[in-house]
């Protein structure tokens, strides 16, 4: 079992809609969680990180963490065509940073 | 500019050849990582170094070795390259106590014939 699992894509949403991305992790010792965006042919770039239960908002992005359910999510509000990319979830456990396989999001104009 | 620098950006090797991928960061981060990325498989952790002087295996360490030369530099070596090691390799550094907690290098595209 992979340490980090993401909902399979691809995910297609209309412009202006909310894109919802989900991630689960297997190791309860994981302390911090990260969401990255990766454009084709580019390196991943950090969007948000979260380490406390609850919601964390940054602009159009909201990360949600539920440690009891071992679940992390990312909401993208008012989706734009520039949000079309692969989104990677990662979990940090005692310096070991593990990634999920990613979910590809396409925002339709 | 602050960040993570990887060299080379592209490399073609023959099966059995060896090479070292270089990575350097100038953000004074303690932890550094090597990943490989294959289509549809996300980033798989090869090795990581929590701090200078320590290294640990990740998910896919077989066929690789690493050296944390100092706080800035973390190299990845392929002793005897195999076609299965054809991939894009990313180096990253992290510090949770920094305003910019994580950076990735631009990647090395490695093909093994």
The pLDDT of residue B1 is above 70? no
Does the beta carbon of A45 lie under 8 angstroms from any beta carbon of chain B?
Answer: yes
Strand, helix or coil for residue A20: strand
Q: What share of chain A is helix, strand, coil (3-state, %, to 5)?
A: 5, 60, 40
- Quick: pLDDT tens for A3-13: 899 987 899 99
Q: Considering chain B, what is the average pLDDT of its residues?
A: 92
- Chain B interface, mutation test: which of A96, A100, A101, A102, most B Cβ atoms within 10 Å? A96
Q: How far apart are CA B97 and CA B79, in angstroms?
A: 35
- Quick: pLDDT tens for A67-97: 999 999 999 999 999 999 999 999 998 889 9
> Which residues pair with residue B77 across a beta bridge?
B20, B65
- Quick: pLDDT tens for B8-27: 999 999 999 999 999 999 98
Task: Give pLDDT, residue B95.
Answer: 80
Mean pLDDT of B67-92: 96
Whether A43 sits inside 8 A of B94 (CB atoms) is no
The pLDDT of residue B80 is above 60? yes
Strand, helix or coil for residue A83: helix
């Amino acid at each position: 079992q992979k340490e980090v699992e993401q909902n399979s894509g691809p995910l297609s949403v209309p412009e202006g809609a909310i894109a919802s991305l989900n991630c689960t992790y297997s190791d309860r010792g994981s302390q911090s969680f990260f969401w990255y965006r990766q454009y084709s042919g580019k390196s991943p770039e950090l969007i948000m990180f979260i380490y406390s239960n609850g919601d964390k908002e940054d602009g159009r992005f909201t990360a949600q963490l539920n440690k009891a359910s071992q679940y992390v999510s990312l909401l993208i509000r008012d989706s734009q065509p520039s949000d079309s990319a692969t989104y990677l979830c990662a979990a940090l456990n005692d310096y070991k940073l593990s990634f999920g396989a990613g979910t590809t999001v396409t925002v339709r104009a | 500019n602050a960040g993570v620098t990887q060299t080379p950006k592209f490399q073609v090797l023959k099966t059995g050849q060896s090479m070292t991928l270089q990575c350097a960061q100038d953000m004074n981060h303690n932890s550094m990582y090597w990943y490989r990325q294959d289509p549809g498989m996300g980033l798989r952790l090869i090795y990581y170094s929590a701090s200078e002087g320590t290294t640990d295996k990740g998910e896919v360490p077989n066929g690789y070795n690493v050296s944390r030369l100092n706080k800035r530099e973390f190299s990845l070596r392929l002793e005897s390259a195999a076609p299965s090691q054809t991939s894009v390799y990313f180096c990253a550094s992290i510090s949770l106590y920094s305003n910019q907690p994580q950076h990735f290098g631009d990647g090395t595209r490695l093909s093994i014939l």
